[in-house]
Structure 1
């Protein structure tokens, strides 16, 4: 199926991203797709403006559109690499969504995988690199997937290939700065490119036919898919999820983050304790990542922890007419008229109309307080968000992306207003244990 949406590509100007640009631009031309290269200037090096100009020039030479993005504002004194990575993902996600892209290509290699593995072994909480995964920027990256097609290719192979083609690239000296864990991991590992087999660029999640490229990368269609075999959460209503007690750690972490509207996964020790209690058959209530886990004798229900709205009260969030606003990391709300704000139903349910209370009472009790309500011009009489605005839950779609239930670019397309939503948690391969 042909798509007129652009495919975005994160272009730093380094050897890995220049190699990916070369191959992706050939694929885009052969498939009639536009390619949008996005370069982030972190403002951390005196040469960053020159590097950005280099990236612009190589993007245009490859026939790609290009946008430069800047990380502005003060920089943290500690945790700079993590902050820079988060800013980069957020800026790229905002720009990609603004231009209508659904997929962003990243040039991570087998060396990046090995470095990340070593860093985790030394205590880092860095996540694992996957070839097809949702954007970690939330909510900026909602509905956006990252494709890393070169995870089987060594960095040395790429640079040798570029050298043969007479191509140039940038070497960032920060990659050799041993103050940073990534640089120390890179220094301690042997080159992975020597003697490595030819890599492959995976494009099965992109629409269009694949075409041959040049070694060490070839663009070939893969048919094995990305679906994983995991216990599936069962949606009981907007934002409420039922779990099996034998859920695996990956799925449980994804459920907690999505149901709680959070952007940070749970710490491993807390997640393991929660898993142990579930598997032991304990009856309990716990909170983690902003989510409430209610483990009863008959079911395990995960919802937003409504008590947090009382413990950390926040003023109602103003809504701009005609613009989609994400509230609490879980709901997308679009209003047509000015003067409205969105807030939690917790503490306001008694003020709802009888009809709205009846609608709310159809939900599991634990899910009611986390439901959004609208308030007009600072008034005290709320209405349920779905009755006065276009409102959709982001929880189920976000979870489907995290659990690899949407394995193709076309599955990311939004449904027309009024169409029956797809339930991606139950599409495709069997994911029950």
Structure 2
């Protein structure tokens, strides 16, 4: 007897989410069978557990019927009384890499809408078939990653603080269709799913024709790393024994970027770190890795700004601004421009130079400054609240937040998602939120 897919979905919701909490849970709703089934199952769970749902639909504007599909998705949400928000990808569509660009845009729009609604988790309708199709594509040389039931939003900085939950990850697509049909619920079928121009459609057709696919099991839960130290400006202190996955997460988080480093470069660095007693300095994905003895210090590699341009952002009073992918800055007084300390240290007031002089030298160039219209600069923490994003982001990528409750509290160790402040000696230090 086939297990009830709604029971499987509820089990994963129970395992990952809080009950009777005021924050809503977001549902990515396309109108296809997978997401419609997810909406109905999540709605039943939320009613039992005292949670609110919000449904979010992205119209990519890639098909002439997309507006109608979006309206149909909204009708499903309204029928259940679930608040629904349509989102539109309005930017020009690239001629090449359109699928990748659409995926990035979709996750960005979903993340921004979920954050605006106060959600911490976005539910998506990925199924067992999606995992099989991804495995087929990898066997053909594709670079798709392995889906997990619980993972951070793949976009940055829009997805900061958000996790994705895939309650249907072990459920077959056919079982979901049968479940919907038994309840008289209709759904849409995207013609792209059978158009061989799309790699996913080719994978689906090959599997339907009986082409063998290696068994696909869920990746093991990541094991949290012990000995992580958060430092000012989003630097990290780490044990040298970290594995390749944690190393990749660390360099991306400290570098403030979004994409993971190339596999060959990552493997080469990981191999060098295993050499006993060998100190080294290397750069990867915008981070500088300094190995001394049994510890690593990862800091922002400001040298890349010479080639690509330094991060600069406008700062308006009361408006949070993510700067260089590492820090969220909110002006408490006048605004100005956020600029890096690199190249401007000599222009700081003496008290600011003295404060930075107490930091490790490798951290100073990446400190944020506020530059006013007259060109004067000061440490950002003297005119703004500076929230460190790196430690929290690293925790979410490496298994320290296995439940929604873990997204609501500071991580162990100084500076987890905390504000930088000046201590009694005038030294900027990270502090935890209470």
TM-score, normalised by the number of residues in structure 1: 0.84
Task: Determine whether 1:377 maps to 2:373.
Answer: yes
Is contact 2:312–2:323 with CA below 8 Å preserved after alignment?
Answer: no
* 1:187 to 2:187 alignment: no
Q: 1:335 aligns with which of 331, 334, 342?
A: 331
Q: Determine the structure 2 residue equivalent to 1:301.
A: 297
Contact 2:56 / 2:86 at 8 angstroms: preserved in 1?
Answer: yes
Q: Which of 113, 117, 138 is the equivalent residue of 1:95?
A: 113
Q: Which residue of 1 is the match for residue 222 of structure 2?
A: 228
In 2, the alpha carbon distance for the partners of 1:268 and 1:315 equals 26
Change (3 A) 1:168 1:378: farther
2:280 maps to which residue? 284
Post-superposition Cα deviations, 1:59-108, rounded to whole Å, max 9, x if no partner, equal 11122110000011211111111111000000000111111111110010
Match of 1:406 among 401, 406, 409: 401
Structure 2: gaps of 5 or more residues: 1-18, 211-219, 419-434
1:126 aligns with 144
Alpha carbons of structure 1 residues 408 and 315: separation in structure 2 relative to 1, 3 Å: closer
1:114 paired with 2:132, answer yes
2:307 matches 1:311: yes
Please give the per-residue CA displacement for 1:164-200, whole angstroms capped at 9, x wherever unaligned.
Answer: 11111010011112122222122222499xxxxxxxx
SS of corresponding position for 1:367: helix
Aligned to 1:17: 35
Q: Distance in 1 between matches of 2:378 and 2:409?
A: 26
Query: Residues 293-315 of structure 1: CA distance to partner in whole angstroms, max 9, x if unpaired?
Result: 12234532111101122332247
* Structure 1 position 423, deviation (Å): 8.2
1:173 and 2:191 are equivalent in the alignment = yes
Q: 1:348 to 1:65 in 2, by over 3 A?
A: same
2:51 to 26, 33, 38: 33
In 1, the alpha carbon distance for the partners of 2:389 and 2:260 equals 17
Cα distance in 1 for residues equivalent to 2:255 and 2:301? 7
User: Shift of the alpha carbon at 1:409?
Assistant: 1.9
Question: What whole-Å deviation, never above 9, does each CA across 1:190-224 have from its counterpart, x for those lacking one?
Answer: 499xxxxxxxxxxxxxxxxxxxxxxxxxxxxxxxx
Secondary structure at the aligned position of 2:141 is classed as: coil
**Cα pair 1:254 1:265 within 8 Å, conserved:** yes
CA distance in 1, matches of 2:92, 2:372: 36
Partner SS for 1:61:
helix
**2:231 matches 1:237:** yes
Hey, what's the Cα distance between the residues in 2 that align with 1:14 and 1:347?
Answer: 53
1:75 aligns with 2:93: yes
Residues matched between the structures, number: 386
The CA deviation at 1:414 is: 6.6
Q: Does 1:320 align with 2:332?
A: no
Question: Alignment RMSD, CA only?
Answer: 2.1
For 1:150 and 1:122, the matched residues in 2 are separated by 25
Matching residue of 1:344: 340
SS of the aligned residue for 1:383 comes to strand
- 2:161 is aligned to 143
**Do structure 1's residue 7 and structure 2's residue 3 form an aligned pair?**
no
Alpha-carbon distance, 1:336 to partner = 2.7
Q: CA deviation at 1:57?
A: 0.3
Could you tell me which residue of structure 1 aligns to residue 428 of structure 2?
none
Match of 2:351 among 355, 359, 376: 355
Is 1:237–1:363's contact at 8 Å kept on the other side of the alignment? Answer: no
Any conservation in 1 of the 2:149–2:165 contact (CA below 8 Å)?
yes
- Deviation of 1:363 (Å): 2.6
Equivalent-residue separation in structure 2 for 1:78 and 1:287 (angstroms): 30
Report the TM-score, using the length of structure 2 for normalisation: 0.84
Q: Once the 2 structures are TM-superposed, how far is the Cα of residue 48 of structure 1 from its aligned partner? A: 0.6
* 1: CA distance, partners of 2:417 / 2:320: 22
Partner of 1:85: 103
- The 8 Å contact of residues 330 and 386 in structure 2, kept in 1 or not, is answered as yes
1:284: Cα distance to partner?
A: 2.5
> Which stretch of structure 1 is more off in the superposition, 174-183 or 262-271?
174-183
Tell me how far apart the structure 1 counterparts of residues 342 and 270 of structure 2 sit (CA, whole Å). 28
> Are the counterparts in 2 of residues 230 and 247 from structure 1 also a CA contact under 8 Å?
no
- Structure 2 match to 1:220: none
- CA distance in structure 1 between the partners assigned to 2:111 and 2:126 by the alignment: 17
